Chain A
Amino acid sequence: MSYEINNQQDGVIFDKSHRGRSNPCQAPYAVEMSGTIPATLLRKVPPILPEVSEMQTVRHFTRLSQKNFSIDTHFYPLGSCTMKYNPRACNTLAMLPGFLGYHPLAPVETGQGFMACMYELQEILKEVTGMKEVSLTPMAGAQGEFAGMAMIRAYHDARGDTARCEVICPDAAHGTNPATAVMCGYKVKEIPTKADGDIDIDALKAAIGPQTAGIMLTNPSTVGVFERRITEIAKIVHDAGGLLYYDGANLNAILGKVRPGNMGFDVIHMNLHKTFSTPHGGGGPGAGPVGVSERLIPFLPVPMVGYDGEQYRWLTKKDRPQSIGRLSAFAGNAGVLMRAYIYARLLGREGMPRVAEYSTLNANYIMAELQKKGFDLAFPSRRATHEFIVTLKRQAKTLDVSAMDFAKRLLDYGYHAPTTYFPLLVPECFLIEPTETEDKSTLDGFIDAMGKIKHEAETQAEMVKAAPYTLPLRRLDDVRAARELDIVWRPREQAE
């Protein structure tokens, strides 16, 4: 980011528009309309879109890009998001013309190379998770969750076991978990987390029963620790007739070390934009493939890729009649899957456990160093996994400097803030996830900045509370944004 940007030049693209300017080189030649479309169906006034040159376009959007933090420009220790380096080869090779030009409904004979990549990715993900079968189609983690819960429902329904109406979630769960359970027609029962970060097993035993369809867990959990009694939990849930859903948000921490399949989970979703390093793209697209144990295989969402030893082809509802059905118009975010496949092949079987090892090493190192600098850990008796939680509750109480203030001040030091205020059960928290791709000197720089901000908070709290100072903008008025909604640009004469 270049802080010296002259903001006066940087209105919205519509401000740069001049009537009559166009880019004929990018558009086809004009043709006469044939007149077969009735006038009542034709547009009367053209849409208001910018009228700018190609160079204005390129300059405008290039300058916008410079107002972003990104992995390529900044350390981004955002907990639960796995902001690791996105290898360039994954992008370049996924964007070969032969892949980009492939129509999703083209005959499979014309796309065997593409299909081979998808099939092999299914196989790799099966091995990595220890599940029996994988479907790649969910387009994001939340859609993978939906697919998982819909499969659990389909499983119980297929057995005529229709009285199960509740899903158990830990109070620390990601917000999508309860939202997903409701989308699948379930009620949510929350259970508490103990002071050491593990689930309260007594509370689980009290909550579970013949009404329980399943439980949604993340392991390592959202509080950054490994759930040590997972085998016992799996037994309790299975004995009650429920199934276990695994939220793969934190798969990076255990890649090649331990597998959800071995822990007793029945269905899992993976976030390929986390563990398999596909780009976050400013908020998508992601990919959320699902893997299942034996009993859920018939219910996987379609299409999947099948291989008979000679040809790869799409498996649809015809092949898999008990499937929960389709989740996307075609086969999910194929281009994202392609990037994940390339990443998996570059890492290979030796590279995968190293992901877990070095992301865990980096997290434990920052944790140790921050503790030495006097920061409070949320779970000091535990190992960090690939992430851990610092709580700034003491600073908030004694200095009136909140986690949000710390976060904003970190931006001034050139570090993206860690995840703040998640999980909700730890007050004033920072969830810190450095990932394996960062080197020691970057981590040291971050640790040093945290120490300096702590000192600033103790000596000049007001200054920290008004940060940031060095970015294109200072703190934004969220209340005004919501009360005086301005979400669509309008020309002046229309706006009034």
Chain B
Amino acid sequence: MSNAPSHLKYTKSHEWVESMLDDTYRIGISDHAQDLLGDMVFIELPEVGQALSASDECAVVESVKAASDVYSPLSGEVLEVNEALVESPDLVNRDPYVDGWLFTIKASDAGELDELLTADQYIELSSDDDH
């Protein structure tokens, strides 16, 4: 089973959320998701300043096999995007939880965090769809 650090929150669609300072959250895709998609070749990031609602399509992660939409786990405004992914999309494969983050968001509704999954819940859910 792939790893899912316990200090993060998760979505059913395989995004993770890390709490930073104040209302700021960092977002990426899980180890399980990167493993399913395979070698990343291109990451399309949102624009800084873009306003997102929870579950909006906000990025695309593209591997040789598939291009998959990333859905924003939270509503808010995009503060920063991980420019390193432009040159090195494989960071998402090598280090999905640290160097492979996608963007940070200033959340407008902290209550949405309660909807997200814990690491244990996420692991249980993602082991179900292992073929």
- A and B touching (Cβ–Cβ under 8 A): yes
Distance between B68 CB and nearest chain A CB, rounded to angstroms: 14
By a CB distance below 8 angstroms, the chain A residues around B62 are: 482
**Which residues from A are CB-within-8-Å of B131?**
427
A-B contacts, 11 of them at CB < 8 A, read: A427-B131, A478-B64, A479-B39, A479-B41, A479-B64, A482-B62, A482-B64, A483-B41, A483-B42, A483-B89, A483-B90
Looking across the interface, which residue of chain A has its beta carbon closest to that of B88? A483
- Nearest CB on B from A127, distance (A): 42
A278 to B66, CA, bound (A): 31
10 additional contacts (CB under 8 A) given A482-B41, A483-B42, A483-B89: A427-B131, A478-B64, A479-B39, A479-B41, A479-B64, A482-B42, A482-B62, A482-B64, A483-B41, A483-B90
- Shortest C-beta distance, A133 to chain B (Å), equals 39
Sort chain B's interface into a size bin. under 10
Contacts of B41 on A, CB cut-off 8 Å?
479, 482-483
From residue 19 to 72 of chain B, which have CB atoms closer than 8 A to chain A?
A: 39, 41-42, 62, 64
Find the B residue at minimum CB distance from A393.
B131
Closest A residue by C-beta to B87 = A483
Ranked nearest first, the 6 interchain pairs of A and B with the lowest CB-CB distance are A482-B41, A479-B39, A478-B64, A483-B41, A479-B64, A482-B64
> Which residues of chain B are near A479, meaning CB under 8 Å?
39, 41, 64
Closest A residue by C-beta to B42:
A482
Interchain CA distance A483-B90 in the complex, whole Å: 9
Interface hits, A455-496 → B, CB 8 Å: 478-479, 482-483
Can you name the residue of chain A whose Cβ is closest to the Cβ of B38? A479
- B39 contact set on A, CB distance < 8 A: 479
Task: State A483–B131 Cα separation when bound (angstroms).
Answer: 28
Cα-based distance from A482 to B62 in the complex (angstroms): 10
**In the complex, how many angstroms separate the beta carbon of A310 from the nearest chain B beta carbon?**
55
Contacts of B90 in A (CB 8 A): 483
CB distance from A204 to the nearest CB of B (A): 25
A340 to chain B, nearest CB (A): 35
> What is the minimal beta-carbon distance from B38 to any residue of chain A, in angstroms?
8
Determine the distance from Cα of A427 to Cα of B90 in the docked complex, in whole angstroms: 27
Chain A: minimal CB distance from B61 (Å): 13
Q: How far is the CA of A280 from the CA of B62 in the complex (A)?
A: 29
Of all chain A residues, which has the CB nearest B131?
A427
A427 contact set on B, CB distance < 8 A? 131
Task: For the complex, give the distance between the alpha carbons of A479 and B41 in Å.
Answer: 7
